[in-house]
Amino acid sequence: MQRLARFFVLLFLLQLALAAPALAHGDARPEKQAILLVAFGSSMPEGQKALKAFDATVRRAYPGMEIRWAWTSRIIRDKLTAAKTAHPESPALALARLAEDGYTQVAVQSLHSIPGEEFSDLEDTVARFRGMPKGLRKITLGQPLMTSPEDIQHAAKALLESQGKRKPDEAVIFMGHGTPHSGNAMYPALQYHLWLLDPDAFVATVEGVPSLDDVLPLLARHKIRSARLVPLMAVAGDHAHNDMAGKEEDSFASRLKAQGIASTPVLQGLAETPAVAALWLEHLRRAVAALQDEPK
């Protein structure tokens, strides 16, 4: 509730700041475009490495265009601010600053894997800024990695391509976060499309469906002796290092070992995996192109 209250205060102050000069002199600002990349965020250097890699890719694709970042996780933002290593902004604050700096058109691109709670909050933020008088004239929103059936097909193909060849008895398990949000349905859908391409490719989530409990019997049935563990997330952050590859007995690696299955963690975020990053980049291309189509 406090977060929502602060959000509305920010919107109100921004309206006052932008509307007053515009009402006095007319809104004669020239069109000025920017891209806002939005990720969950990471407090680990290994996780931030993936975001930097994607940032470099976007800057090569859009030379000369303003590129900014926002992180949806308040916990991560607070950690970095307290550590004085960075001062990441929320999507609302980042959009407010872009408007204050004279930008009139912004393409917002999500780096979330699925349209879950974090993306729903981002959608709400973008919608509220769209309705603000004398603020940003146009805002478009690029979709997460997997939203449509076509997205899921492309993601399945890209994920498997990124792993190259494997041994005959080696599986690959893509670890997602999982959520009670309806967006969790993307994970079972991805599992279906992975199986169409590779019967030994699995999806398991930390907090959703399918879980590792669902996958373990299938590994036994397929006589799997080893497995690669790959984060199904933009960054290989805390979840990848602890829930997936950690030494605790409830980590994916430890639970597989208990079943006699050797594991090889792949600590690389999807944002730094070229075949997958290309899918997010295509969503961004559509969001930037839509700036020209959206009415003022």
**Residues annotated as part of the active site:** 177
What is the C-alpha to C-alpha distance for residues 249 and 269, in angstroms, rounded to an integer?
Answer: 23
Using an 8 Å Cβ cutoff, are 152 and 186 in contact? yes
Q: Which parts of the chain fold into alpha helices (H)? A: 2-25, 45-61, 74-83, 91-100, 117-130, 149-163, 186-197, 212-221, 238, 252-258, 274-293
**Three-state DSSP class for residue 295:** coil
Provide the β-strand partners of residue 227: 171, 263
The tokens describing 28, both together, are: 């004669």
Strand 33-39 to 66-71 pairing: parallel
The tokens describing 13, both together, are: 């102050």
